[in-house]
Amino acid sequence: MVLETMTLEDQYVALKPMQTSHIEDLYRAGKDLSIWEWTTANYCQTLNITKQWVESCLEKSHLNLLRPFVIVDKTQHKIVGSTSYLNIYLEHKAIEIGFTFLNPSSQRSYVNRRCKLLLLTHAFETLKLNRVTLQTHEKNQPSRTAILAIGATFEGIQRDCRIQQNGSVRSSAFYSIIKPEWPQIKAQLSAKITPPAICQMKV
């Protein structure tokens, strides 16, 4: 089984398949160093590093190991980050959402929840999957709070599983959503989705 390439979108955001033509826009979106504090690598440290990262993502996509997207804020008509489907096990009806970054201007806004709703809806309702996994650095409390707010269940800590860009050893917090939970989670997440103007007024 192969995961098809697709665009997922609503009125305000679009997840478009990553292409080499997106390299410069991704670099601009990811230049702020604060984005990469908890990650294993800074994919936007230089334009050349961004180019190498995009090319690597596309190679893995051809092998059906990854489906990378650029995140487009349709209200601004620009790319504000990236996210991916990874650890794709369609034969076991399981997938992970990760490798996500957002420009600081789009963090804690309508963008992230709308992206997650699009990805989760596609996973459970189009792909008919049983499980979606999310993970983050054990010490990345804002990310852990955001994942719980989506409705995911904390499963545990995978200890000392990665080496960070600064050489430190990372433990990852793992979360999941499974098929029986999805209808209630979808209803709760949809209720939290608000138009951009409302979100911006609350900031």
- pLDDT tens digits, 105-146: 888 788 999 999 999 999 999 999 999 999 999 999 999 999
Q: What is the pLDDT of residue 149?
A: 93
pLDDT at 198 over 70: no
- What average pLDDT score do residues 3-19 get? 94
CB 7 within 8 A of CB 16: yes
pLDDT at 93 over 70: yes
Q: How many domains does the chain have?
A: 1
Domain presence at residue 164? yes
Q: Which two tokens stand for residue 46?
A: 């230089």
- The values of phi and psi at residue 195, to 5°, are -65, 155
pLDDT at 202 over 60: no
Domain that holds residue 133: 8-194
Residue 195 pLDDT class (50, 70, 90 cuts): confident
- What average pLDDT score do residues 101-105 get? 92
| Entry pTM | 0.93
Domain presence at residue 2? no
Domain presence at residue 177? yes
Q: How far is CA 47 from CA 31, 54, 96, 115, 163, in A?
A: 9, 11, 27, 25, 23
Higher pLDDT, 164 or 44: 44
Q: Which CATH number does the domain housing residue 119 bear?
A: 3.40.630.30
Domain presence at residue 12? yes
At 202, which helix (H) or strand (E)?
helix 196-202
